[in-house]
Amino acid sequence: MKWKLLKKRQFPIGIDLGTAAAKLVQLVDLGGQMELTAAAYLDLPEELQKNVSGRLEFLEGRLGGLLRQGGFQGRKCVMSLPPSDTFLAHVRVPKVPSSQMEGVLRGELEGKLPFDVFQSVIRHLVAGEAEAGSTLEVIAVATPRRLVDQFAGMAERAGLELLALDVEPCAILECFGRLLRRAEDAERATLFLDIGQSFSQVVIALGARMVFARNLPMGGRQIDQAVAKVLNMPLAEVMGLRRSLAGQKPNPQSQFVYDALRDSLNALAGEITQCLRYYESVFPSHPVERSIFLGGGALDHNLCQQMAQRLNLPAQIGDPLLRIGRRFTMPAPAGMDRRQANPAWAVAVGLCLGSQISVAA
């Protein structure tokens, strides 16, 4: 009799430092079967939501407890850069050797960044060819070097080995790319829309290949603020009301809230439509076929439904834990419910699985 020994691959800890919360995830691959082995959730103080340095310091002081309580193994990690300090741009450049690409991109981005291009870290992904193959459509990513140093310093002080820093669009695609490996998926275009607290990520993929990415400075908080203004209600009351309505079917008592959302949803849909038009100008033979909603905003199914109607695309709520088993014995952390989809955990899962754009610390 022969006993089959499963090869175990422990993934690094994925740390998603968001605006309102930090999420930590760790997975293991047991002979092709992905298992969730550890997870943790940390609410961040509201007064730090616009202060990246403050959020890093707050997380640093609590990481030891989170790692112990969550059952995490090892010290290797991958972290996400905040959208507020990350600049994404689509740039068309001539075909040049990879060794020359960073210099070309610095020239293209000079004067366009909200920070000094010569004090930044720049990485890129090639989305495809443009203009009959004479140029490349490149997704450029830039972030201030000081921020990279801050993340590296925090990880070192916390006793972690920072393998890479990544941006949210890449983590989102890394999370779902494992589900898009079939031959028929390769030519199928999917829109991923992650509605976060302060930013929304627009990601378009052909199969598992990213071909468009953009940060939109509009998220759940801006939507709540607009509703509060329309209804003349305190912001905290609106936030609580919207949370209570998430997942419920529309009814006469809740419809007034969604009526107040109309202008905000129209504005967000307008920005996304511009993204779709740009993508279609580059890849006209591969129209977007569907949309997948992620982030904390995706917990409001009614909001997602109304947005999908505006975009005129079939839609679904994404579940980053699809086909991932659960092995950890700790209670599920706040914000995670294995009985339903967990769209807010997509970035953390994607960071754990890998890094498409590695900003070395």
DSSP 56-73: HHHHHHHHHHHHHHHT--
pLDDT tens digits, residue range 105-144? 999 999 999 999 999 999 999 998 876 677 899 999 999 9
Lowest mean pLDDT among 16-30, 113-127, 238-252, 334-348: 238-252
Encoding tokens for residue 220? Answer: 């759940």
Show me where the domains of the chain are located.
8-225+261-353
Encoding tokens for residue 30? Answer: 């047991």
**pLDDT of 6 higher than 70:** no
Output the CA torsion sign for 118, 137, 162, 44: positive
The amino acid present at 303, given as its one-letter code, is L
pTM of this prediction?
Answer: 0.93
Report d(CA 33, CA 81) in Å as an integer.
29
pLDDT band at 357 (very low <50, low <70, confident <90, very high): low
pLDDT band at 265 (very low <50, low <70, confident <90, very high): very high
Instruction: Provide the pLDDT for residue 4.
Output: 47
**Residue 135, strand partner residues:** 94, 130
Report d(CA 267, CA 236) in Å as an integer.
23
Q: Which residue has the tokens 């109607």?
A: 309
pLDDT tens digits, residue range 141-176? 999 999 999 999 999 999 999 999 999 999 999 999
pLDDT tens digits, residue range 35-75? 999 999 999 999 998 899 999 999 999 999 999 989 899 99
pLDDT band at 359 (very low <50, low <70, confident <90, very high): low
Among the listed residues 60, 71, 80, the one whose alpha carbon sits nearest the alpha carbon of residue 347: 80
Output the CA torsion sign for 349, 352, 354, 358: positive
The class (CATH top level) of 8-225+261-353 is alpha beta
Report d(CA 92, CA 210) in Å as an integer.
16
